[in-house]
Amino acid sequence: MQHRNLGSQGLRVSALGLGTMGMSMAYGASNDDEGIATIRRAHELGIDFFDTAELYGAGTGSNEILLGEAVKDFRDEVVLATKFGFDMTASPLSPGFNSRPENIRKVAENSLRYLQSDHIDLFYQHISDPAVPVEEVAGVVGELITEGKVKYFGLSNVGPQYIRRAHAVTPVSVLQYEYSLFEREVEEKILPVLRELGIGLVPYSPLGRGFLTGQVKPASEYPADDMRSWDERWQGENYTYNLHAADQLKKLADTKGITTAQLALAWLLAQGEDIAPIPGTRSTKRLEENAGATDVQLSAADLARLTEILPRGSAGSRYPAAMLSSFTTD
């Protein structure tokens, strides 16, 4: 497994990480034993970068507990990332924001306990809080770093000016943002700032929430507790457009003897050595397939063809308008 440096503060991770959200929420019923087996298989394959969050356990810590249990025998060999920033006392379906200093510290202590660790490798602000200046947030995380409870500071779903303001207080190692063949919003204004400041990018949903795996069906065929049941990219004409694009990707992948998922991940890895995607899965078979993407080499002609197939990304918004309006874009 290849490794990459993220940011300028010393964070080094496997080129491909593993997102664990789907082991607890958003993609229908899950099984903890299956999730733990997948995490441990990832470690065997050389993947050492694992992503969780307070939100993924709806405030109960369940996803962090699962991850902590899975890696407890090799904790010092892996990088654990978790996140704060939501008000988990609000509705689980519509949590508010809470990046007040006292809550950041509370979440950190809970995460340390759930992960069975004396430190958090990478601590992200999951979403910006309009009531708390980012300078204050960065200052608290900086204190946690000084205290040895956190190693690196990350941000998620925020824009260029927010990143600059945070970085001026406590150096930011990583921004987490949705990025894939299906979603390229980050390219125009955010990625140049990251590279100017020496900040790495961790793309989440690098397989378009599963659309780029080739295993898709219309929104109506997913259960209500699966986010694809309401994702715009699975609706009506959007679904038809995206399915056609995925078919074209499969044809190109077939010519190279790889899967569509491997093609999509290889494309993302080719966008820069400062990028480390975290595809989520709870299947060891799918995990092994994803890991194979790190061995795929794409030519300039391949990359050009991919841009022809998806010149602007997918059809349909990545989140409902109400949810997107809560993200800081400046």
Distance of CA 173 to the CA centre of its chain: 15
For the chain, what percentages of helix, strand and coil (3-state, to nearest 5) are there? 45, 20, 35
Domain-by-domain residue ranges, the chain?
A: 3-214+259-298
- The predicted pLDDT at position 107 comes to 96
The Cα–Cα gap between 293 and 55 comes to 29
Total residue length of the chain: 330
Give catalytic residue positions.
Answer: 56
Q: What is the CATH number of domain 3-214+259-298?
A: 3.20.20.100
pLDDT mean values, one per 10 residues, the chain (330 residues) = 95 96 64 88 97 84 92 97 88 75 97 97 95 97 98 96 98 96 91 98 90 75 71 80 87 94 95 96 91 95 90 64 59
pLDDT of residue 18: 96
Q: Given this model, what pLDDT does residue 94 score?
A: 58
Residues 6+ apart with CB under 8 A from 203: 176, 177, 178, 179, 180, 186, 268, 275, 277, 278
Residue 195: predicted pLDDT? 97
Q: Which helix (H) or strand (E) holds 103?
A: helix 101-114
β-pair partners for 175:
155, 201
pLDDT of amino acid 212:
83
Residue 315 φ/ψ, nearest 5 degrees: -90, 130
How confident is the model at residue 325, as a pLDDT? Answer: 54
The predicted pLDDT at position 23 comes to 83
pLDDT value at residue 320: 54
Whether 274 and 201 have beta carbons less than 8 Å apart is answered as yes
